[in-house]
Chains A and B, each alone.
Chain A
Amino acid sequence: MDLISVLQFGFVQRAFLGGCVIGVLCSVLGLFLVLRKMSLIGDGLSHVSFGAVALGLLANWAPLYAALPVVVLASLAILKLSEKARLYGDAAIGIVSGLGIASGVVLASVSGGFNVDLFSYLFGNILAIGDEELVLAVALAGVVLVAVAVFYNDLLAVAFDEEYARISGIRTTRINMLLMVLTAVTVVLAIRVVGIMLISALLILPASTALQLARGFKAALLLSALAAVAAVVAGLCMSIVLDLPAGGVIVGVNFVFFLAALGLRKAAV
């Protein structure tokens, strides 16, 4: 397929723009999550979004609008469960994640089984991003990135040493809630790019790539974002040329970047 001529299409341009914006979001938040050993929160919240999307499809609501409040609430539930219920964070994620999948399966069954729409959310369809979704993604991405910029040092301090952050006067509970809510919004936005099944890879892989090479936290954020954008662009181009599913190829390219970064680090030692 001629890549240059395909790039003239509006839906392809929207895919590139939306993919890059969401890739940057995932890579930035992913770095904080990976360093706090909370990487699997993306997996848990994406499973919740499966239930929420199924609910949206059953009720004939726009699935992403239905998913947004549900996933935000689920992120806060995970936080509260791990704080109040004498549970480790991974168990809290597992509980909420399981509930999300279970409700999705039940709702899909009630609506007559898994249909094409639900599958498109499971595996993503970046080329189907509409104008309205793109505007929503860019607007929410702006909100998330501004929040990260404003609370950058608070997020960094809590990620490095939460106890010390508390005695530095940082309201760590609020910062944890902020990170959860921003992650929830990002997970919902990423559904279209790689699908529910692969969102956690988009959160974890660019950050892990950056951690192999970065010297300094700002450098890690920049490298993570660059890796994510490069993977989206390369992955989309490859998926168009080779006629393969974009979500899977984007994650595959991210993994190749990670291996390359790992190799570079080993070679430098």
Chain B
Amino acid sequence: MSAVIATEELSARYNSIDVLQDISFEVSAGDYIGLTGPNGAGKTTLIKALLGLVPISRGSVKLLGEELRRFSRWDRIGYLPQRANFSLLFPASVKEIVGLGLLAQKRTPKRLNSSDADRIDKALQLLGIESLRAKMMAELSGGQQQRVLLARALVVKPEVLLLDEPAAALDPQIRDSFFETIHDLNRDQRITVLLVTHDLGQIGQYATKLLYVDKRVVFFGRFSDFCVSAEMTDYFGTHSQHLICHQHR
């Protein structure tokens, strides 16, 4: 079975500086990958390169077995950005915003119908925010806004979900619940997850594999392998490696 995400010697440059160098990895269907690394390691750039949002200088990306430049089935991919680029002044209701996620499946003129309204309701129910349907984004807390944007990503029933530090702005209690939701989606709906996080310890509780990057791939493999890797012991030190692995389920 072909990988749902595959990169080969992927490199990206920004202002003549190498941000990613020779990144090669494969994600299989049903994987839950924790993508992590230090500040400035290129985690967000890597996610954006996978989606074609930043140009790559070398190498290749395949999504669901197809070269990125030919890929058109965006309805099979869900994405939750690190910081949504919307203004709180934007006069759109939760229902309208979640509906935007369905446009990937539509042809011009992209019209939403009554069955789309049902799908929007189901996505909101899945995340427990159906009561927010008619609310405006500016009226919601940070955690609720994040769930609305996750609903926008999930409304198309994607096979792959890319999340860029989705819990960075959430308080600890909401963060735990958010991670549980993602975990449930991976376990119950077999959605492949690639989640960027700073918190190696927390992602260890949920992810099946770890992709640690620092402009290049430092480690890619199962958490259990990470925990017994002598190379990673050298890299992180015994204490840090123990702390990370202690929380792994």
Contact = CB atoms under 8 A, between A and B. Distances in A.
Interface in B132-178: 134, 136, 152
Given A153-B111, A156-B92, A211-B89, A167 B84 contact: no
Main SS of the interface on chain A?
A: helix
A153 B110 CA distance: 6
A216 interface: yes
A160 B100 contact: yes
Contacts of A162: 85
Contact of A167 (B74, B96, B97): B74
A220 B103 contact: no
A261 to B, nearest CB: 12
A167 B52 CA distance: 8
Interface string B83-99: 01111011111001100
A266 to B, nearest CB: 15
Nearest to A217: B92
Interface in B47-64: 51-53
A151 interface: yes
Given A149-B109, A151-B108, A152-B109, A217 B91 contact: yes
A150 B110 CA distance: 8
B85 A215 contact: no
A161 interface: yes
B53 A163 contact: yes
A157 B100 contact: yes
Interface residues of A, number: 31
Contacts of B85: 161-164
B189 interface: no
A91 interface: no
A35 B134 CA distance: 20
A217 B93 CA distance: 7
B87 A215 contact: no
Nearest to B100: A157
B51 A35 contact: no
A40 B109 CA distance: 29
A138 interface: no
B238 interface: no
Given A167-B74, A168-B103, A150 B92 contact: no
A234 B16 CA distance: 58
Contacts of A163: 53, 81, 85
Interface in A127-180: 149-154, 156-157, 159-170
Nearest to A37: B87
Given A167-B52, A169-B104, A219 B91 contact: yes
Nearest to A150: B109
A156 B53 contact: no
Contacts of B12: none
A210 interface: yes
Given A153-B111, A154-B103, A164 B96 contact: no
A214 interface: yes
A161 B93 CA distance: 14
Contact of B93 (A166, A211, A215): A215
29 contacts: A37-B87, A149-B109, A150-B109, A152-B109, A153-B112, A154-B103, A157-B100, A157-B103, A160-B86, A161-B81, A161-B86, A164-B84, A166-B52, A166-B53, A167-B53, A167-B104, A168-B103, A169-B72, A169-B74, A169-B75, A169-B103, A210-B91, A215-B91, A215-B136, A216-B91, A217-B92, A217-B93, A219-B91, A220-B91
Identify the 4 closest CB pairs spanning chains A and B, nearest first. A220-B91, A153-B110, A168-B104, A169-B74
Given A167-B77, A169-B75, 16 more contacts: A35-B87, A149-B109, A153-B100, A154-B110, A159-B90, A160-B97, A161-B86, A162-B85, A165-B103, A167-B104, A168-B100, A168-B101, A169-B103, A214-B91, A217-B91, A220-B91
